[in-house]
């Protein structure tokens, strides 16, 4: 089984994915790390030197490469991964893939992301929490169509990672 975690940046996909993979004793994969390995440069550099369109094309190609592997794993996607090109359709077409949307409240995302916005290429231009909140709200509205196609929707708040992993396991088995 391949478990693909979907959700907005800051929703905990990497943290939850790492713990979930550990519990299931299967490998953990992170889209950003896979893209950086594939391109030989950081995500920030890809955005600044080659732009978002280039990044999204690479992201789509790397996603398809990962999902066609035969082994079981947990994959933490980027926040925009399912929303561009044919990515979500491709994910849903795979027989051995379970999609999990980590649905996180706007306030929690704003709080988490404000302190780390300098490390997030899409957020560096936002100066206030209010600007960030408006930006996230708009994105959640636009991306909701894709996120909500997931087979599982897990409501996540400020709870501990193990609680979220527990919710996923209870729905999986």
Please give the annotated binding residues for substrate, written as ranges: 32, 56, 79, 143
113: Cβ contacts below 8 Å, ≥ 6 apart: 9, 10, 120, 123, 132, 136
- Residue ranges for the known binding site are 10-15, 32, 56, 79, 120, 143
Residue 100 and residue 5 in contact, taking contact as beta carbons nearer than 8 Å: yes
CA distance 157 to 105: 6
* Total residues belonging to the chain: 173
- Residue ranges for the known binding site for ATP are 10-15, 120
Burial of residue 138 (number of CB atoms within 10 Å: 0-12, 13-18, 19+): exposed
- Residue ranges for the known binding site for Mg(2+) are 14
Strands (E), the chain: 2-6, 28-30, 73-76, 97-103, 152-155
CA distance 29 to 77: 9
């Amino acid at each position: 089984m391949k478990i693909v975690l979907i959700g907005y940046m800051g929703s905990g996909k990497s943290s939850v994915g790492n713990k979930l993979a550990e519990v299931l004793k299967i490998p953990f994969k992170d889209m950003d790390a896979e893209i950086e390995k594939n391109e030989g440069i950081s995500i920030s550099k890809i955005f600044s030197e080659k732009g978002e369109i280039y990044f999204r094309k690479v992201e789509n190609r790397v996603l398809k490469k990962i999902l066609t592997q035969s082994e079981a794993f947990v994959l933490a996607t980027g926040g925009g991964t399912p929303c561009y090109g044919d990515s979500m359709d491709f994910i849903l077409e795979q027989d051995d893939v379970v999609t999990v949307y980590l649905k996180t409240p706007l306030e929690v995302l704003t709080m988490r992301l404000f302190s780390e916005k300098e490390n997030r290429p899409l957020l560096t231009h936002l100066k206030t929490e209010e600007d960030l909140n408006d930006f996230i709200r708009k994105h959640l509205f636009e991306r909701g169509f894709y996120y909500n196609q997931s087979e599982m929707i897990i409501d996540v708040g400020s709870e501990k990672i193990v609680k979220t992993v527990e919710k996923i396991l209870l729905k999986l088995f």
